[in-house]
Amino acid sequence: MHTNFDRRLNNIDFLRLALALLVVFAHSFVITQGSDGAEPFMRLTRGQTTGGTVAVDAFFILSGFLITASYERSSSLLSFL
């Protein structure tokens, strides 16, 4: 088991691709129908959120993880910056 974050042994690129595709999918409803009312996440959550919103939030979470991992690998704050 790896205790440190190893860039080669993860699925972050896959997650980024899946989230990007979810944003495109969510936007396709607005483009084709003029509204996001038929978008599956909007229907599942009864109008509370869209798949695009979920994907953007997940991008921010993923970015925070990557920035933290980068900081932990740095030898000092100055080298991190």
Domain segments of the chain: what residues?
Answer: 12-80
- Kindly indicate the confidence band of residue 36, based on its pLDDT and cuts at 50, 70 and 90: confident
Is residue 51 within 8 Å of residue 40, measured between CB atoms?
A: yes
Helices 12-33 and 51-73, axial angle in degrees (round to 10): 160
Structure tokens that stand for 72 in this block: 């932990």
Q: Is the pLDDT of residue 37 over 70?
A: yes
Residue-wise pLDDT tens digits, 7-34? 666 788 899 999 999 999 999 998 998 8
If we measure between CA atoms, which residue out of 29, 56, 60 comes closest to residue 42?
A: 29
Identify the pLDDT of residue 10.
Answer: 76
- Kindly indicate the confidence band of residue 2, based on its pLDDT and cuts at 50, 70 and 90: low
Residue type, 29: F
- Kindly indicate the confidence band of residue 50, based on its pLDDT and cuts at 50, 70 and 90: very high
